[in-house]
Amino acid sequence: MSIKSNFEAINNKVLNACERFGRKRDDVKIIAVTKTRSTAEINEAISLGITDIGENRVQELMGKIDFIDSKAKIHLIGQLQTNKVKYVLGKVDAIHSLDRISLAQQIEKLSERENLPPQRVLIEVNIGAETTKCGILPNNLTEYLDILANFRYINPIGLMTVAPSLATEDELNVYFAQMQELLQKGKNVFGENFNQLSMGMSRDYEIAIKHGATMIRLGTALFGERNYNI
């Protein structure tokens, strides 16, 4: 199927999910996950109405950024090493994977030095407590949020998670419902502007919408199967 037909099918599913679960369609943003995708594919998606794209790798993003339609906002959704922060500050709308204090400190340091506005970030939560994944454990989130409140050049706007890949539908409902509850902890620290939930991917985005997702990250559903040899 073409990117156009995939996008139409996704929009219909998102709309139907919003109607089923009492959500406003405008409250759910589709982020096109562009890992391994060509700039031609990315720009085609943007021409169809995609307003936000998400890249996983800093190096890949740097090779594409000058060729991507500038009207789309760019999100860094993959893990960010502290030594690569300098490449993305001022170039991405939001970093979805803030998961440790050392990373926050580097963002703060460089943003202050370059006189940049506070960087919008989402705190990554390891909702399944998986040893193979990064992210703040749910029980540690309150402490982490309290520490972030002392940073001047970081603007926390919400939470992000990747649900366990083998989770059943019932388990996904539990994980995403927990994320919705955890979001309130952030609001208690940062106020009502801490309102973004980046969760839900190609296989589980409708369940994520049920539990308040405001950003769903879709790659395969939009572009088709990925070539993992790239």
* pLDDT tens-digit series, residues 205-216: 999 999 999 999
Whether residue 117 is contained in a domain is answered as yes
What value does the mean pLDDT of the chain take? 96
Q: Give Cβ neighbours of residue 49 (< 8 Å, ≥ 6 apart).
A: 7
Whether residue 40 is contained in a domain is answered as yes
Whether residue 101 is contained in a domain is answered as yes
Whether residue 229 is contained in a domain is answered as no
Per-residue pLDDT reduced to its tens digit, 102-118:
999 999 999 999 999 99
Whether residue 217 is contained in a domain is answered as yes
pTM exceeding 0.85: yes
Domain harbouring 200, CATH code: 3.20.20.10
Work out how many domains the chain is built from and give that number: 1
Whether residue 227 is contained in a domain is answered as no
Q: Say if residues 213 and 197 touch (Cβ distance below 8 Å).
A: yes
Task: Tokens 């800093």: give the residue.
Answer: 58
Domain limits at 31?
3-221
* 3-class secondary structure per residue, 96-156: EEECCHHHHHHHHHHHHHCCCCCEEEEEEECCCCCCCCCCECHHHHHHHHHHHCCCCCEEE
Burial class (CB in 10 A: 0-12, 13-18, 19+), 186: buried
Q: pLDDT class for 229, splitting at 50, 70, 90?
A: low
Q: Give Cβ neighbours of residue 224 (< 8 Å, ≥ 6 apart).
A: 1, 3, 6
